[in-house]
Amino acid sequence: MSTKKRTIGSVIGGTLLNLAATGGVVCIIAVIAAFAFNITLIMFKTGSMSPTIPAGSLAVVRQIPASEIRVGDVVTVDRAGKPPITHRVRAISPAGGDARTITMRGDANTTDDLQPYAVSHVRIVLLSVPGLAYAVVTLSHPLVLGGITLGTTALVIWAFWPREAGTRRRAQRVTAAATTTDMMTLGVLPIGLIPLVLAFSLGTATPAHAAEKETVVHGRYLTLTAIGDPDVMEHLVPGRPVQWQVGVQAHPPETSSIDIGISAQGRLAGPGGLQVDIRACTVRWVNGRCTGKESAWLSHQDLATAVIPVDAHGAHRLGAMPSTQQRWVLVQTTLPAGTPPGSTAQMQIHAWGSGDDIGIGGPAGGPLAFTGSSIGPWIMFGTIAVLSGVGLVELARRRGRAQ
């Protein structure tokens, strides 16, 4: 009975090990193909392409020059200060040289996007899998990645560690296992490389469409309107600018001057934290453009410097406007490289005057946050798994020979 149990256990262990090794090899091949053919992944956070590509889908895209775009293609366009957008091409016109101007629309939308896009290259959608984006988000968590590493290491130990040779038959099995060390090593390496593969392949997955939200705060005479993508603002990526805007309207009984300022607190609000660029417009910003009168209030400053000094209203004054007008404040934040994951900053735009004083944060009311995983821990997990796996196999080989 015990021999039968051990045999069944060996079969199950061997099957799991082979499946893991095969998965590792497939992942490695996929990453090599991604580098060779410029293929990346994108995640769909909204349903603007439904039913063709529903929310929660993971798509495989390949970069192509603008000259290869055709009407009807589903392509991803990168936008400065905003997440990429993935819609269907409805019209194409020359834009000088190899560039093109394309008009796009989501399959679920009734109208074209507000403005056409001038592009020199795009990423065309090759295929998509509904619901797979949720699995990618789960796998990208450091705790899950650590669990994969520990699990594969434990599997290697269980499968390849020699047992005590109590009989000639068992001794022969141990000796046979020791002579197949090279094959075992080939199985361990792909498993240990899985975290490394996840680091590079999942790191390329980016949101495919912005889901902007409006939040309104009313005071006695002042109204503030924040507009932006809450998900993007709460998951900042180093080096990728993120924009959001706040509209300031006033309706006091008498004409007066309204001051506008900014405040921030949190780790990202300290020295070496967020970089900010703040501009104001007399009308609402559209795709980062001001069609009215524009003013530059802060130009690429460290947030810690931008919010000092603080006046009696608890904010650093940026500018002012007559109560008969309105101002739309465009805030662009950039997270520097090397920022520790989990860092946050609570930033607010304030307005005061005519006996009123109010403030508003992001569209969701939450903090700006860097909650994405850094590639460093992933590489560390993968390296440890590879070295541990190879070392364990070598130790098992030597022990098997001794027995």
Q: Which DSSP string corresponds to 99-128?
A: -EEEEEE-TT-SS--SS-EEESEEEEEEEE
Whether the predicted pLDDT of 203 surpasses 60: no
Q: Which residues contact 34 (CB under 8 A, 6 or more apart)?
A: 40, 200, 201, 204
Range ranked top by mean pLDDT from 201-205, 229-233, 343-347: 343-347
**Sheet (strand 275-281) strand order:** 213-218, 222-228, 242-250, 326-334, 275-281, 294-302
Amino acid, res. 381: F
The pLDDT value given to residue 75 = 93
* Residue 225 C-beta-side C-alpha neighbours within 13 Å: 14
- Of 158-172, 216-230, 254-268, 295-309, which range is least confident? 158-172
Q: Residue 154 is part of which domain span? A: 2-36+140-205+378-402
Question: 32 and 163 in one domain?
Answer: yes
Considering only CA atoms, which of 236, 273, 274, 248 is closest in space to residue 354? 248
Question: Which of 107, 129, 151 is the last residue before a domain boundary?
Answer: 129
Give the residue with greater pLDDT, 393 vs 295.
295
In a domain, 372, yes or no: no
Question: Which of 74, 107, 129 is the last residue before a domain boundary?
Answer: 129
- Of 136-140, 148-152, 182-186, 385-389, which range is least confident? 182-186
Give the residue with greater pLDDT, 18 vs 335.
335
In a domain, 370, yes or no: no
Q: State how far the Cα of 48 lies from the Cα of 56, in Å rounded to an integer.
A: 11
Lookup result for tokens 């005057």: 353
The pLDDT value given to residue 122 = 92
Question: 347 and 229 in one domain?
Answer: yes
Q: In this structure, what CATH number is given to the domain that contains residue 335?
A: 2.60.40
Question: 198 and 148 in one domain?
Answer: yes
β 275-281/326-334 pair status: antiparallel
Averaged pLDDT score across all residues of the chain: 75
β 206-207/39-43 pair status: parallel
In a domain, 20, yes or no: yes
Give the residue with greater pLDDT, 258 vs 201.
258
Question: 301 and 158 in one domain?
Answer: no
Question: 96 and 153 in one domain?
Answer: no
Considering only CA atoms, which of 36, 81, 13, 128 is closest in space to residue 240? 81
Question: 224 and 346 in one domain?
Answer: yes
The pLDDT value given to residue 135 = 75
Q: How many residues does the chain have?
A: 403
Phi, psi of 195 (to 5 degrees): -60, -35
The pLDDT value given to residue 24 = 62
Average pLDDT of 316-341? Answer: 88
Average pLDDT of 381-391? Answer: 58
Q: State how far the Cα of 379 lies from the Cα of 255, in Å rounded to an integer.
A: 60
> Is the distance from CB of 113 to CB of 77 less than 8 angstroms?
no
In a domain, 22, yes or no: yes
In a domain, 135, yes or no: no
In a domain, 264, yes or no: yes
The pLDDT value given to residue 13 = 62
In a domain, 280, yes or no: yes
In a domain, 281, yes or no: yes
Question: 160 and 31 in one domain?
Answer: yes
Whether the predicted pLDDT of 109 surpasses 60: yes
Angle between helices 375-402 and 142-160 (to 10 degrees): 10
Q: In this structure, what CATH number is given to the domain that contains residue 70?
A: 2.10.109.10
Question: 256 and 149 in one domain?
Answer: no
The pLDDT value given to residue 168 = 45
Give the residue with greater pLDDT, 253 vs 4.
253
Could you give the number of structural domains in the chain? 3
Question: 8 and 156 in one domain?
Answer: yes
**pLDDT grade for 387, boundaries at 50, 70 and 90:** low
Question: 277 and 337 in one domain?
Answer: yes
Question: 334 and 189 in one domain?
Answer: no
- Give the three-state DSSP class for 9: helix
Question: 235 and 163 in one domain?
Answer: no
